[in-house]
Amino acid sequence: MNYKELIQKDLITDNTKELSEDKLFLKTKQNEKYSKDISKYITPKELIQNLTLKTKFIGITGTNGKTTTAFVLGHLLQQAGYSVGIQGTEGFYLNGEKIEAKTLTTPPIFTTIKRAVKYEPDFYIMEVSSHAIVQQRIEGIEFTAKILTSFSQDHLDYHKTMEEYKRVKESFFRDETVKVFNGKLLVKNEKCKVKSGGYEFNLNCKNLYVLEKPIVDDIPMAGEFNKMNFSLALKTASLLTNSSLSTFNFSLFEGVPGRMEIVSKKPLVIIDFAHTPDGMEKVLSAVEGKKIVVFGAGGDRDKDKRHLMGEVADKYAEYIIITEDNPRCEDSNEICKEIAKGIKSIPYKIISNRKDAIKEAVDIAKKKNYTLMLLGKGDENYIQYCDKKIDYSDRETVKKLLSNKVVKVN
């Protein structure tokens, strides 16, 4: 049976509603409760084995830094002459070109398989979220290498405790594949113990490479924290290609959309996806000078981190504007008030409408010569409310304001 041809002809489905006599059903951990009565099926592991793809899968997980590390690793592997697919927060890229828009950071396994069949890159770099690990959206994939970029508080609305969040991340690294880890090696015997983000991870020692500090210093992106992201990518590229570290260079790397991205120089305006206390700390500490910070927190997500985000902004900013950031089904004003509980010494203002907040922040940045930091949205092109998603971009909002065009406020 030619499984590639079946996929190309849309004769395999993971949706019970699309199943017909001429289609083969892909039974996954996500759909098995709906497919108990289906006797003719194939599993993701069986499908991947039968496809005999040349593609090698690389999985990148971590609280912060996944996207940057993925893009840098992709750049280095392309530099070595390989074709590269990247799947994650920014969508799906093939050899540096955006091919498909974002769905989930880690989409259902059949989406990944279909992309691998359609484009068949030499390397398929995936951002692997903790949700995807729990929900087994990566089932059946035999990874050639795995990376942990960082570990800090996030997603406690889902995982409930940091210990459970850690256990989920830890479970991704229990096999013998190549593992490149940001942390400090504490114990190495039959099992390895590595400390990352203040938590101890018990890992399989085989093919484990722990970076306790960056191995590169000169990188084309701002932020000390990015030196570790670049280092993780460099070490992994070296292992995957059996090449020395000196084989690679970053001179032509053009950056990552929405990550420490400068969208204006006068005034200096930087947008970044930072949406956790640790992410904000790293981004804000990386930028010198006086700063005005505009940010919010996602609705229907980890509420315990909100006041901590306020504390971080309070530590680094001269002035703070708290605003919306995908409020979903929560009230934006209430989210802003929870963030404000962490602000003790710096003047701040709550402006729920994000465009209004940025307009005021741009005016202040111009008058006081502050650097404007817009955090949380990064390269996203929408704001998610309870019953609708509207088109929106921090980058475009700033550009329109600075070109004196009218910015429509909803």
Task: Locate CATH 3.90.190.20 in the chain.
Answer: 261-402
Q: pLDDT per residue over 186-209, tens digit each?
A: 987 778 999 999 999 999 999 999
Q: pLDDT per residue over 122-146, tens digit each?
A: 999 999 999 999 999 999 999 999 9
Transcribe 358-375 into DSSP letters.
Answer: HHHHHHHHHHHTPEEEEE
Nearest residue to 366 (alpha-carbon basis) of 261, 264, 266: 266
> What is the average pLDDT score of the chain?
94
Task: Locate CATH 3.40.1190.10 in the chain.
Answer: 53-247
Ramachandran assignment for 65, one of left (phi > 0), alpha (psi -120 to 50 degrees), beta (any other): left
Domain 261-402 has CATH 3.90.190.20: yes
- Res 405: pLDDT: 54
Backbone angles phi, psi at 270, to 5 degrees: -125, 130
CATH topology assigned to domain 53-247: UDP-N-acetylmuramoyl-L-alanine:D-glutamate ligase (3.40.1190)
Q: Which range has the worst mean pLDDT, 32-41, 177-186, 354-363, 395-404? A: 32-41
